């Protein structure tokens, strides 16, 4: 079976590609290497069943060419910087909406059997019901959530019109080996482990977040590679609970075995930290916690707890 992974050289896509390649599938990694890199796929890039294409999802003709004889497409490529999306929503929409439409249209033309679309918990916006199940209202706080949700809706359309089997996986905050630097967990790790400085928390640190280990995400993805289903399906993929940012900071201090206390800094939303220079996202969510019972009905559960997963990320 041939599987094309868009964004296959990125953080999540490289773990997906690695797992599929090790299972013996023919894997085509289709990536423009904008945020992904060769190091992410170093373990698999010389395997006979792995093919690497330096291509853009905005290049429809190349996508079409690369999708010939492909059975499954895993669409992971995206623009996912929330700040970039706020500053340049058109660019965000171009990659996440137009790019997704190119993937869907090329897949339809060549008769791809299944598509797995990387969606995001960002489609929900502020939680009005905790945990948030798949039926939770979709009121994205940022353009990124809008573009990811638009991608989902197009997936649904293609499924309705053309009978294609498509599923959308709404990931919580995915972490683990090869996570890209910039988000709060990576910032805390950098401060505590590399700089021997206390983590800096924005506000009171009571914001709740749902972390899911990257290889647990891959396990669910593998289920959907092997599973058959009809039409369009959507699943939340989270860690099965949430942690406050304050708890997260203390967990990293504990893992690092350091004698320090987090610093609380009252940075306004959309402002910058005086200590780290880090930007605080506007319209920050109070709670992100996914109900994963639908995914668990497929026999999946997150196996790696946050402490173990963070240790692996630090290593």
Ligand X SMILES: NC(=O)c1ccc[n+]([C@@H]2O[C@H](COP(=O)([O-])OP(=O)(O)OC[C@H]3O[C@@H](n4cnc5c(N)ncnc54)[C@H](O)[C@@H]3O)[C@@H](O)[C@H]2O)c1
Residues near ligand X (CB under 6 A):
6-7, 9-13, 31-36, 56-58, 76-80, 95, 99, 118, 120, 148, 171, 173-174, 180
Tokens of 78: 């995206």
What's the min distance (Å) between Cβ of 196 and ligand X? 27
Identity of the residue, 13 or 199, whose beta carbon is nearer to ligand X in the bound complex? 13
What's the min distance (Å) between Cβ of 217 and ligand X? 9
Identity of the residue, 79 or 250, whose beta carbon is nearer to ligand X in the bound complex? 79
Identity of the residue, 34 or 305, whose beta carbon is nearer to ligand X in the bound complex? 34
What's the min distance (Å) between Cβ of 121 and ligand X? 6
User: Considering only CA atoms, which of 309, 287, 140 is closest in space to residue 208?
Assistant: 287
Instruction: Exactly one of 117, 124, 144, 211 is catalytic; name it.
Output: 144
What's the min distance (Å) between Cβ of 216 and ligand X? 12
C-beta separation of 267 from 202 below 8 A: yes
Whether 175 is catalytic is no
Identity of the residue, 84 or 264, whose beta carbon is nearer to ligand X in the bound complex? 84
Identity of the residue, 275 or 303, whose beta carbon is nearer to ligand X in the bound complex? 303
Identity of the residue, 148 or 165, whose beta carbon is nearer to ligand X in the bound complex? 148
Three-state SS annotation for the chain: CEEEEECCCCHHHHHHHHHHHHCCCEEEEEECCCCCCHHHHCCCCCCCCEEEEECCCCCHHHHHHHCCCCCEEEECCCCCCHHHHHHCHHHHHHHHHHHHHHHHHHHHHHCCCEEEEEEEHHHCCCCCCCCECCCCCCCCCCHHHHHHHHHHHHHHHHHHHHCCEEEEEEECEEECCCCCECEHHHHHHHHHHHCCCCCEEECCCCCEECEEEHHHHHHHHHHHHHCCCCCEEEEEECCCCCEEHHHHHHHHHHHHCCCCCCEEECCCCCCECCCCCCECCCCCCCECCECCHHHHCCCCCCCCCHHHHHHHHHC
The set of catalytic residues is: 144
């Amino acid at each position: 079976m041939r599987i094309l992974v868009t964004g296959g050289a990125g953080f999540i896509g490289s773990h997906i590609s690695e797992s599929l390649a090790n299972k013996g599938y023919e894997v085509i990694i289709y990536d423009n290497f904008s945020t992904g890199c060769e190091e992410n796929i170093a373990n698999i890039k010389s395997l006979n069943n792995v093919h690497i294409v330096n291509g853009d999802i905005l290049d429809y003709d190349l996508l079409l060419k690369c999708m010939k004889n492909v059975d499954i497409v895993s669409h992971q490529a995206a623009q996912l910087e929330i700040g970039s999306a706020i500053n340049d929503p058109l660019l965000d929409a171009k990659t996440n909406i137009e790019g997704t439409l190119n993937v869907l249209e090329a897949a339809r033309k060549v008769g791809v059997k299944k598509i797995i679309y990387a969606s995001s918990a960002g489609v929900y916006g502020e939680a009005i019901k905790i945990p948030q199940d798949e039926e939770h209202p979709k009121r994205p706080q940022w353009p990124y959530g809008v573009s990811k949700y638009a991608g989902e809706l197009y997936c649904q359309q293609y499924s309705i019109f053309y009978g294609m089997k498509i599923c959308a996986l709404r990931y919580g905050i995915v972490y683990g080996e090869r996570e890209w630097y910039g988000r709060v967990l990576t910032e805390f790790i950098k401060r505590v482990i590399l700089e021997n400085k206390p983590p800096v928390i924005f506000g009171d640190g009571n914001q709740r977040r749902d972390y899911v280990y990257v290889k647990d995400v891959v396990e669910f993805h593998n289920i959907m590679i092997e599973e058959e289903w009809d039409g369009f399906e959507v699943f939340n993929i989270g860690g099965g609970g949430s942690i406050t940012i304050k708890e997260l900071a203390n967990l990293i201090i504990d893992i690092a075995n350091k004698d320090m206390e987090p610093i609380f800094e009252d940075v306004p939303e959309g402002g910058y930290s005086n200590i780290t220079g880090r930007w605080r996202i506007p319209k920050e969510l109070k709670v992100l916690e996914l109900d994963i019972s639908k995914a668990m009905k497929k026999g999946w559960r997150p196996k790696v707890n946050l402490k173990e997963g963070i240790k692996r990320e630090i290593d």
